[in-house]
């Protein structure tokens, strides 16, 4: 039997032998043990060394001869599978997954990950895509946004068989991956992890894909699922108002049809926001910005008509976006001036700029289980493994520079890396060495950053920006830097969630008023008191600060929302509103957990925190905690309004 995720090889022995020379040995051992059922591949002398940090540990630390034995055995087993002499076993039991993975990684993956990994790896389809449809009598749903979250929930609604439509302001699917098409745009999560559990892509061309390929993936998933006819493109949601009498949302949309826009009213039972976090570009209020005479644009609104050749380009900001833009434009531009307000911790990553070889792609495409096991290794290494190291140790004697012994070790490692990168240009050290603990701001992957900053035609100005003039940036140290083009890599208005939509709930109070300008709160990041039947994807406190795939969270949320919708349909429920005390209690727990985490380190300023210092965007939880919290909705958490027919029946 071959599961849909585990196709049979079709390659010849020669092709397979060649491809296996590129195999990641710890992954291949998992494949071999699973295919043959022989546990000797998970024991000495084949037991791989511990996988450390961001490295794949391709050799498993094994001598060449052992690696050759493993490849030979894999070739034999794969040939048998191809020739129909060996069946591909069904998925392993959940506990076996973590047991085998632990051996492959050289460290214990806690058993609590077993079920989540079975689903995330694609050994088993997620529950929300396998339970029977509800059918068309359930609630009518309107989804706002067709980015990754919107595509995910759209597919869930399609499976449920509920009447739904998606309203998307752009003219195509993709959300942030459509809008952020600046030079060098890409993702910091490995490609084989940054994909839906139910839609693997064995053909990724890079270990960290660039924007066009990610966009192609998201659009392909939407297209293949037949979602496009349900999406109304080029349309903004202007407002949504809860009508208590009918227990419906009255949603006003405006189509951007060239003129003033055609407004339309929609009456639906449930509204799901999937507008994303990085939705509204943050344009800083810099004195004189409007007097700049050259081209000035935000990275999320890149002006591709501007030819940078020979131009002096000022880039404001040194976050994840600038880290990608600056190396990507340095060759074209005449000069680049990088205006840094705060330095960032930068991590080396051998895979970051690496392309996936044809050999590896063949393994991903044809070797049963290879891409699944490879993904699960990443799922541990790149996600929750780091979380404990980001907790404050109250007894740690150096809280200024680090949080605990492990974080201090990371600090030393990244500092050594910085020193090695700027050797011979030590004058950069003061400017580039952060004074806060690593991971306090989002850690950045070295994208030739140091090499680019060291170029003669690139200048780092580390004093922040004081003002903009017609053809120059004035830095806070009083220096004047002439520029022809100004690029604002200044991030997003992440704390003004759901802006600028006007959303009013049961009491008529706008959500904007309830949350204030920067203090969004929701139960599980998804539901808000006084706003019945409003569900949020990528809402408050659901962004991943410690690393991990946002797509995993989107699937957790889809699972929870599907659970709620099923209950509404099955029990004739007209409205579900989270109880205020449940939401308050949850947020008190979020805040208390954050007090223990790095993101509340004194003095840290990030887009995670609001003016009062509360962490608003980022989750304090491990992915596995959130997965567990979003498995099964508990209707006791909600005020339930029965549908009129249910009320009549009860009466
Ligand atoms: P960001 O992390 O918010 O960084 C904004 C940068 O602009 C910071 O360096 C900030 O300095 C600076 N800045 C803001 N206002 C300024 C002002 N008035 N004067 C001078 N400097 C100012 O934004 P981002 O780089 O666009 O990244 C946002 C998020 O998008 C990331 O955290 C990530 O989640 C996602 N992203 C991911 C990738 C990837 O995966 N590779 C790439 C791009 C974006 P301070 O640090 O001092 O505030």
CATH number for position 629: 3.50.50.60
Do 476 and 591 have their domain in common?
A: no
Q: Please give the Cα distance from 392 to 358 (Å, whole number).
A: 44
Whose CA is closest to 214, among 238, 239, 196, 237?
196
186 ligand 1 Cβ < 6 A? yes
Q: Please give the Cα distance from 70 to 62 (Å, whole number).
A: 10
Bridge-partner residues for 251, per DSSP? 240, 266
8 A C-beta contact, residue 570 and residue 635: no
The alpha carbons of the chain give a radius of gyration, in whole angstroms, of: 26
The pLDDT score that the predictor gives to residue 644 is 85
Do 58 and 189 have their domain in common?
A: no
Do 208 and 147 have their domain in common?
A: yes
DSSP 561-604: HHHHHHHHHHTTEEEEEE-HHHHHHHHHHHHHHHHTBGGG-TT-
The pLDDT score that the predictor gives to residue 450 is 97
Ligand 1 centre distance from Cα of residue 491 (Å): 4
Q: Is residue 596 part of a domain?
A: yes
Q: Please give the Cα distance from 336 to 84 (Å, whole number).
A: 59
Mean pLDDT within 48-66: 95
Residue 478 Rama label (left phi>0; alpha psi -120 to 50; beta): left
Which range among 324-328, 397-401, 489-493, 592-596 shows the weakest confidence by mean pLDDT? 397-401
Q: Which atom of ligand 1 is nearest to the CA of 284?
A: 18
Do 107 and 137 have their domain in common?
A: no
Do 406 and 516 have their domain in common?
A: no
Q: Please give the Cα distance from 173 to 155 (Å, whole number).
A: 13
Q: Is residue 4 part of a domain?
A: no
442 ligand 1 Cβ < 6 A? yes
Which residue shows structure tokens 């493993």?
70
Atom 36 of ligand 1: nearest residue by CA position: 320
Q: Which atom of ligand 1 is nearest to the CA of 187?
A: 40
Q: Is residue 6 part of a domain?
A: no
8 A C-beta contact, residue 263 and residue 253: yes
514 ligand 1 Cβ < 6 A? no
Q: Residue 460: what are its φ and ψ, rounded to 5°?
A: -100, 125
DSSP reduced 3-state for 640: strand
* Total Cβ atoms within 10 A of residue 487: 31
The pLDDT score that the predictor gives to residue 257 is 80
- Under the banding of pLDDT at 50, 70 and 90, the label for residue 131 is confident
Do 456 and 537 have their domain in common?
A: no
Of the residues 194, 286, 321, which should be mutated to test ligand 1's pocket, given the most ligand atoms within 8 Å of the CB?
A: 321
The pLDDT score that the predictor gives to residue 1 is 31
Q: Which atom of ligand 1 is nearest to the CA of 317?
A: 7
Q: Please give the Cα distance from 521 to 531 (Å, whole number).
A: 12
190 ligand 1 Cβ < 6 A? no
Of the residues 289, 298, 320, which should be mutated to test ligand 1's pocket, given the most ligand atoms within 8 Å of the CB?
A: 320
Burial class of residue 107 (count of CB atoms within 10 Å of its CB; 0-12, 13-18, 19+): middle
* Total Cβ atoms within 10 A of residue 283: 14
Mind listing the pLDDT tens digit for each residue in 143-156? 999 999 999 999 99
- Under the banding of pLDDT at 50, 70 and 90, the label for residue 649 is low
Do 149 and 177 have their domain in common?
A: yes
Q: Residue 65: what are its φ and ψ, rounded to 5°?
A: -65, -40
Do 271 and 305 have their domain in common?
A: no
Q: Please give the Cα distance from 150 to 450 (Å, whole number).
A: 37
For the chain, the domain total comes to: 3
Atom 1 of ligand 1: nearest residue by CA position: 491
> What are the residues whose beta carbons fall under 8 Å from the beta carbon of 618, sequence distance 6 or more?
541, 543, 544, 545, 594, 599, 608
Which of 488, 513, 546 is a domain's end point?
A: 488
Question: What is the model's pTM?
Answer: 0.96
Q: Is residue 394 part of a domain?
A: yes
Mean pLDDT within 118-143: 91
Beta pairing class for 335-339 and 458-461 = parallel
8 A C-beta contact, residue 528 and residue 577: no
Structure tokens at 289: 């910005």
Q: Which atom of ligand 1 is nearest to the CA of 320?
A: 25
8 A C-beta contact, residue 526 and residue 539: yes
pLDDT at 6 over 90: no
Mean pLDDT within 199-209: 97
497 ligand 1 Cβ < 6 A? no
- Under the banding of pLDDT at 50, 70 and 90, the label for residue 164 is very high
Q: How many CA atoms lie within 13 A of 606 on its CB side?
A: 25
The pLDDT score that the predictor gives to residue 317 is 97
Do 518 and 594 have their domain in common?
A: yes
Do 185 and 312 have their domain in common?
A: no
pLDDT at 528 over 90: yes
With a pLDDT cut of 70, the percent of the chain lying above it is 98
Ligand 1 centre distance from Cα of residue 298 (Å): 11
Burial 135-173 (b: 16+ CB within 10 A, else e): eeebbbbbbbbbbbbbbbbbbbbbbbebbbbbbbbbebb
How far does CA 391 lie from the centroid of its chain?
A: 21
Which of 488, 523, 543 is a domain's end point?
A: 488
* Total Cβ atoms within 10 A of residue 239: 18
464 ligand 1 Cβ < 6 A? yes
| Mean pLDDT across the chain | 95
Q: Is residue 333 part of a domain?
A: yes
Of the residues 177, 193, 284, 319, which should be mutated to test ligand 1's pocket, given the most ligand atoms within 8 Å of the CB?
A: 319
Q: Residue 436: what are its φ and ψ, rounded to 5°?
A: -110, 165
> What are the residues whose beta carbons fall under 8 Å from the beta carbon of 176, sequence distance 6 or more?
147, 148, 276, 278, 279, 300
Structure tokens at 307: 């030819």
Q: Is residue 580 part of a domain?
A: yes
pLDDT at 7 over 80: no
Do 303 and 445 have their domain in common?
A: yes
> What are the residues whose beta carbons fall under 8 Å from the beta carbon of 345, sequence distance 6 or more?
414, 434, 438, 439, 440, 441, 443, 444
Atom 31 of ligand 1: nearest residue by CA position: 320
- Under the banding of pLDDT at 50, 70 and 90, the label for residue 256 is confident
8 A C-beta contact, residue 188 and residue 320: yes
8 A C-beta contact, residue 469 and residue 291: yes
With a pLDDT cut of 90, the percent of the chain lying above it is 93
490 ligand 1 Cβ < 6 A? yes
Give the sign of the dihedral formed by CA 331, CA 337, CA 340, CA 341. negative
Ligand 1 centre distance from Cα of residue 606 (Å): 9
Do 297 and 444 have their domain in common?
A: yes
8 A C-beta contact, residue 134 and residue 162: yes
Question: Which residue intervals of 233-319 are DSSP H helices?
Answer: none
The pLDDT score that the predictor gives to residue 137 is 82
Domain housing 210 = 131-280+494-650
């Amino acid at each position: 039997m071959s599961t849909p995720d585990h196709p049979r090889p079709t390659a010849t022995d020669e092709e397979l032998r060649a491809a296996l020379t590129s195999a990641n040995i710890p992954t291949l051992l998992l494949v071999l043990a699973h295919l043959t059922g022989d546990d000797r591949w998970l024991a000495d002398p084949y037991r791989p060394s511990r996988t450390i940090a961001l490295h794949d540990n391709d050799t498993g630390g094994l001598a060449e001869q052992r690696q050759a034995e493993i490849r030979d055995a894999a070739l034999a087993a794969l040939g048998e599978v191809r020739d129909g002499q060996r069946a591909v076993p069904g998925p392993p039991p959940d506990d076996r997954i973590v047991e085998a993975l632990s051996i492959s990684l050289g460290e214990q993956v806690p058993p609590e990950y077993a079920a989540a990994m079975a689903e995330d790896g694609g050994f088993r389809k997620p529950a929300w895509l396998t339970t029977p449809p509800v059918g068309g009598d359930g609630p009518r749903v309107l989804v706002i946004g067709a980015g990754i979250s919107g595509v995910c929930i759209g597919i869930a609604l399609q499976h449920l068989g509920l009447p739904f439509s998606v309203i998307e302001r752009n003219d195509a699917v993709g959300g942030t991956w459509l809008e952020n098409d600046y030079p060098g745009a890409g993702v910091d999560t490995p490609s084989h992890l940054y994909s839906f559990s139910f839609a693997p892509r064995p053909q990724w061309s890079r270990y960290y894909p660039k924007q066009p390929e990610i966009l192609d993936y998201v659009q392909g998933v939407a297209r293949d699922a037949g979602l496009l006819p349900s999406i109304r493109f080029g349309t903004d949601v202007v407002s949504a108002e809860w009508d208590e009498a009918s227990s419906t949302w009255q949603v006003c949309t405006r189509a951007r049809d060239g003129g003033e826009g055609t407004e339309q009213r929609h009456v639906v039972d449930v509204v799901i926001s999937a507008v994303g976090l990085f939705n509204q570009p943050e344009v800083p209020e810099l004195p004189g910005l409007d007097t700049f005479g050259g081209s000035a644009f935000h990275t999320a609104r890149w002006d591709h008509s501007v030819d940078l050749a020979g131009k002096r380009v000022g880039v404001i900001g040194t976050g994840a976006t600038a880290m990608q833009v600056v190396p990507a434009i340095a060759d074209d531009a005449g000069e680049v001036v990088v205006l840094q307000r705060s330095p960032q911790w930068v991590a080396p990553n051998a895979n970051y700029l690496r392309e996936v070889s044809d050999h590896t792609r063949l393994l991903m495409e044809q070797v049963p289980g290879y891409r699944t096991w490879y993904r699960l290794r990443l799922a541990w290494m790149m996600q929750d493994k780091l979380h404990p190291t980001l907790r404050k140790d109250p007894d740690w004697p150096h809280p200024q520079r680090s949080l605990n012994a492990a974080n201090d070790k990371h600090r030393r490692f990244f500092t050594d890396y910085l020193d090695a990168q700027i050797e011979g240009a030590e004058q950069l050290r003061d400017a580039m060495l952060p004074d806060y603990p690593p991971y306090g701001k989002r850690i950045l992957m070295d994208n030739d950053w140091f090499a680019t900053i060291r170029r003669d035609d690139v200048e780092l100005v580390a004093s922040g920006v004081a003002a903009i003039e017609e053809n120059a940036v004035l830095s806070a140290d009083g220096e004047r830097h002439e520029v022809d083009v100004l690029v604002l890599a200044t991030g997003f208005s992440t704390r003004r969630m759901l802006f600028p939509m006007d959303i009013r709930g049961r009491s008529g109070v706008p959500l904007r008023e309830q949350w204030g300008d920067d203090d969004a709160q929701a139960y599980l990041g998804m539901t808000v008191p006084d706003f019945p039947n409003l569900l949020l994807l990528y809402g408050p406190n659901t962004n991943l600060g410690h690393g991990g795939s946002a797509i995993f969270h989107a699937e957790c949320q889809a699972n929870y929302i599907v659970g709620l919708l099923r209950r509404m349909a099955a029990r004739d429920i007209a409205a579900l509103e989270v109880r205020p005390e449940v939401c308050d209690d949850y947020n008190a727990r979020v805040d208390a957990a954050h007090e223990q985490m790095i993101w509340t380190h004194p003095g840290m300023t990030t887009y995670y925190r609001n003016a009062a210092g509360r962490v608003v965007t980022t989750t304090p939880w491990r992915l596995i905690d959130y997965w567990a919290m979003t498995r099964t909705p508990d209707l006791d958490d909600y005020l339930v309004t029965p549908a009129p027919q249910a009320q009549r029946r009860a009466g």
